[in-house]
Amino acid sequence: MKANMTEPENKQDNDLREIPTWARRYAENRTLPMLVFFGIFVVGSAAFGGLSYLTAWAYVTGHRALAVAAMLVLCGFAAWWMWFSFVGGQRIMRRITARLYRSEGTVSVGPAAEPDIWRKSPAVGFVFMFCVIASVGLGLLGVLPIRYMQPISALYFVPFCVYLGITQRGTGSPFMSLWPTLYGIHAILLVAGAPIYFGGKWEALNMLIPVIGYGVLAALAGHIYSRVALHRLRMLAASPEIPDETGAQEQ
């Protein structure tokens, strides 16, 4: 305790000095939009899978008109999905973020218009997309065994996340680093022969759990921490209603 300071003075000073730390912690960990993004991703993937199944079923059972219609819808959906992933998604996510946090207001810890990966490092974005398409394609062709899809994807997914973490340092939730960490650990365990492989009709879970499950877990941890940070921040910053001594009246 500093000399000549009373206990209440010391506490008040410490509380005030903690405000910037908790404000930053809260702002960094507003990960609710990530949860929405994962939700959109799951619904989109399910719709894609459903339409693909419908197209194949209609073709095999001889419902040609239905097969053509389903194929057209599938192509339209695929085009929208590409647009959402690379162009319009960011704008939509910004609107969703503003709506989700309307009651709490807007706060940022990074530049107002953070450029996305396609403008900032297009080469990295293209290499990542190439790796995704190549590994999925090889998996569908049967060249790449499903068992090794997740460990192989970890070879580019983890470095990509680390790259994003470094380039956006200080603007994102530290909890989101849980995602590539768990993804990497999952890959190592799978290669080491740990009994975490899903067979038969549950095979899709081998990718869904690491991609969606760990991502949701990381975003959820960030969101919960943001609630704690906001609670703490409001306690520290709660201000007595002292009018400005210039005489300004309430509007």
Partner 1 sequence: MTELDADVHQPTRLRILMLLSGVDSADFNFLRTTLGLSKGNLSAHTSRLEEAGYVEITKGFNGKIPNTSYCLTELGRSRLAAYWQALEEIRSSGGTPPS
Question: Longest Cα pair distance anywhere in the chain, in angstroms?
Answer: 90
Q: What is the 3-state secondary structure (H, E, C) of 20-61?
A: HHHHHHHHHCCCHHHHHHHHHHHHHHHHHHHHHHHHHHHHHC
Using CB under 8 A, which of the segments 41-49, 72-80, 209-217, 227-235 binds partner 1?
227-235
User: What's the number of CA atoms in the CB half-sphere (13 Å) around residue 126?
Assistant: 5
User: Can you tell me which of 8, 60, 102, 201 binds partner 1, judged by CB under 8 A?
Assistant: 102
Per CB under 8 A, does 218 bind partner 1?
no
- Encoded one letter per residue, x for contact with partner 1 by CB under 8 A and - for no contact, window 25-54 reads --x---------------------------
Using CB atoms within 10 A of its CB, is residue 177 exposed (0-12), middle (13-18) or buried (19+)?
A: middle
Give the CA angle between residues 226, 231, 233 to the nearest 5°. Answer: 90
Q: How many residues bind partner 1 (CB under 8 A)?
A: 45
User: Which is closer to partner 1, CB of 7 or CB of 200?
Assistant: 7
Q: Residue 26: which of 216, 227, 169, 217 has the closest Cα?
A: 227
Buried b (16+ CB within 10 A) or exposed e, 111-122: eeeeeebeeebe
CA dihedral sign of residues 148, 151, 152, 153: positive
User: Under the criterion CB under 8 A, does residue 11 sit at the interface with partner 1?
Assistant: no
Q: Which of 8, 62, 105, 200 binds partner 1 (CB under 8 A)?
A: 105
Q: Quick one: 6 or 62, whose CB is closer to partner 1? A: 6
Taking CB under 8 A as the criterion, the residue among 24, 32, 40, 212 binding partner 1 is 24
List 107, 133, 134, 228, residue binding partner 1 (CB under 8 A)? 107
Quick check: 22 binds partner 1 (CB under 8 A)? yes
**Residue choice 5, 87, 140, 228 for contact with partner 1 (CB under 8 A):** 5
- Amino acid residing at 33: P
Residues that bind partner 1 (CB under 8 A): 2-5, 9, 13, 16-17, 19-24, 27, 95, 98, 102-112, 230, 233-234, 237-246, 248-251
